[in-house]
A = this chain, B = another copy of it.
Amino acid sequence: MSEAVSRPTLEAVAARAGVSRATVSRVVNGGDGVREPLVERVRRAVEELGYVPNQAARSLVTKRHDAVAVVIAEPETRVFADPFFALQLRGISKELTAHDNQLVLLLTEGRDDHARVGRYLAGGHVDGALVFSLHLDDALPGLIQGAGVPTVFGGRPGWSDGNLPQTLGSAPSGQDSTAVYVDSDNRGGARDAVRHLVGLGRRRVAHIAGALDQTSAVDRLDGFRDVMADADPRLIAEGDFTPAGGERAMRELLDRCPDLDAVFAANDLMASGALRVLREHGRRVPDDVAVVGFDDMLPVAEQTDPPLTTIRQDIEEMGRLMARLLLRRLRRNPTEADQDTTTGVVLPTTLVRRASA
């Protein structure tokens, strides 16, 4: 940095407490093997002088920063507009704070900035990374692998078998390139949604898919097809997980298939957009068209008109679990890591019935 600054030194603390530098160092790094009265004297001196341990030096000893990066592969505007991310971050924040780890959120304006994120991750500023909202054609997984920090993904990564593709990863031979991830049962949840609509007697069930460069969108589409194996392909429209995308897709669907009698939207935000368009077109919900969403995002799902029947996934718990898995990986030593065969944890979903279906 360009401004010279100084601060109270370890020596100053040692002098104030009347102990050696080594003693101060031991106390600051956990106090192992130091008698309680001495610990107390050092702590008082630290407080009186406003001493902040030199984390860089401390990290050289402990090899730990007690900090975890969170990377969301979306522009910061999207991060703050979609409550999904706030919920996942809430779970992550609670878990990291409970273990006195600093949450370091790396924001970007878009994909062009991902190389810079990779450099920051490689720079020795964090112990590990939590990464979510990956897109299939994104270089981010490769950059993260190249950065060499242990990582847990939110949502199943798009490469097959959970292994980084050779073209993406620069993982040297012998390194475990298995991707650990936490996901919801997107396919099973989608099946439940569509079965519910079919159970209500609906025959022309449409699907508003999410952005199909994300596995969550692909898995929910697969779940839709599991139940509607021979569905008219015109009953499927791709959205982008935003309310505006849901509106666009709903207009397309009404245009192509005016006889549709149900819609399963791949998330609640798109369902809320679809409900607006249906109202605009004078279609009564659920009488004319039944609608089911995905997420059970509150307050959105309760405040739509009518309130939304949806598939609940515990987004906050997903975040918490991602953090927990990463911290567990960080505590382990490398030999133990090789014995770990867990690659994915998939959480169950449940149908929540409200007025829209």
Contact = CB atoms under 8 A, between A and B. Distances in A.
Given A6-B172, A146-B7, A170-B50, A105 B104 contact: yes
Nearest to A175: B5
A339 interface: no
Interface string A124-164: 11011000000000000011001111100000000000000
A124 B3 contact: no
A148 B5 contact: yes
A30 interface: no
Nearest to A58: B123
A109 B97 contact: yes
Q: How many monomers of this chain does the complex have? A: 2
Interface in A334-353: 334, 337
A44 interface: no
A90 B116 contact: no
A120 B107 contact: no
Contact of A104 (B77, B120, B332): B120
17 contacts: A1-B64, A2-B332, A3-B176, A6-B172, A7-B122, A7-B146, A7-B172, A51-B170, A54-B122, A55-B124, A56-B123, A58-B123, A65-B120, A65-B125, A76-B103, A93-B108, A102-B113
Interface of A: 1-8, 49-56, 58-59, 63-67, 76-77, 80-81, 83, 86, 89-90, 93-94, 97, 100, 102-109, 113, 116-120, 122-125, 127-128, 142-143, 146-150, 169-170, 172, 175-176, 329-334, 337
Name the 7 nearest CB pairs between A and B, nearest first. A55-B123, A50-B170, A5-B148, A80-B86, A105-B105, A56-B124, A125-B125
Contacts of A118: 52
A159 to B, nearest CB: 16
A51 B115 CA distance: 11
Contacts of A149: 1, 5
Contact of A89 (B2, B49, B76, B97): B76
A118 B100 CA distance: 13
A169 B6 CA distance: 12
Nearest to A1: B127
A150 B2 CA distance: 9
Contacts of A89: 76, 80, 107
